[in-house]
Structures are given as structure tokens and as C-alpha cells.
Amino acid sequence: MKSFRKELWFETRNRREYINITPTIAEALRESGIKEGLLLCNAMHITSSVFINDDESGLHNDFEKWLEKLAPEKPYSQYTHNGFEDNADAHLKRTIMGREVVAAVTNGKLDLGPWEQIFYGEFDGKRKKRVLVKIIGE
């Protein structure tokens, strides 16, 4: 069995952003040389997510509105966590949107559904943060 590990770095301009990382993940898969197996991709920070959904800007706008209803960024004082930080909302948003995705690798390609794309969801950006890609198989 082969195994491959790679870290991807992101530094978003905004506090919240969604980045389609499918091409970057596909590149890591090519680099690994693995043809059959499983690919794990997870955020290495507790205020960002990796998730699968549609690459459609209206939907991303809906995510933003929905998450702001569930866990509004402001006022910062509404959260107990915000004694020394201002990112309680980002922790909550990350919990809803998930930590990781697992995708099947078949014939050297990501075996995704027709509209499935892999996203990095940033909820407390403007600083360098990492995503882990781990691929196992042969």
C-alpha cells in the first residue's frame, strides 16, 4: 500500500471565503501516483472547513446568510468564547460545515458525483491556515 501526504496553505483576503480546491486536490492525487484508494482532505484549523457541494455563487451566498442566522459574527460580546478572541462564530460555523471530506480514488481520478466539488470554507481568515491531504491506496 502506498501513502501520500501534502499540506495546502491558504491566506484569504476576507474573514469568510469559499474556495474551490478540487483542481488542487486533483493535482495532489496525480502527484501521489495512487490509482485506487481513498483520499482524505481536512482542515487543520478549528475555524475552517472542508466540504463538498455545488460550485454555484448563489448557493455560496445562501450559505453565508444561513450561517450568519445560525451563528452571527456580531455582536462579539454574545459569545462566552470571545473573552480573548472574536471568533466564536467561526468555531460554530466550522462545526456545521464540517471538518473533512473523504473521496474515493478510481482509475487515478477523484470519483465524485456529477456536481460535487471540494471546497475550503474559511470563517476566520486573513491569516495563513492549512489543509491536509492524505491519500492511501495503490
State in angstroms the smallest separation of the CB of 128 from Zn ion: 16
Tell me how many residues contact Zn ion (CB under 5 A). Answer: 2
State in angstroms the smallest separation of the CB of 7 from Zn ion: 21
69-98 residues in contact with Zn ion (CB under 5 A) are 85, 87
Per-position DSSP letters for the chain, written without gaps between them: -EEEEEEEEE--SSSSEEEE-HHHHHHHHHHHT--SEEEEEEESSTTEEEEEE---HHHHHHHHHHHHHHS-S--GGG-GGGGT-S-HHHHHHHHHH-SEEEEEEETTEE---TT-EEEEEESS-SS-EEEEEEEEE-
Which residue, 18 or 79, is less far from Zn ion as judged by CB?
79
Which residue, 49 or 87, is less far from Zn ion as judged by CB?
87
State in angstroms the smallest separation of the CB of 67 from Zn ion: 16
Which residue, 58 or 83, is less far from Zn ion as judged by CB?
83
Q: Which residues bind Zn ion (CB under 5 A)?
A: 85, 87
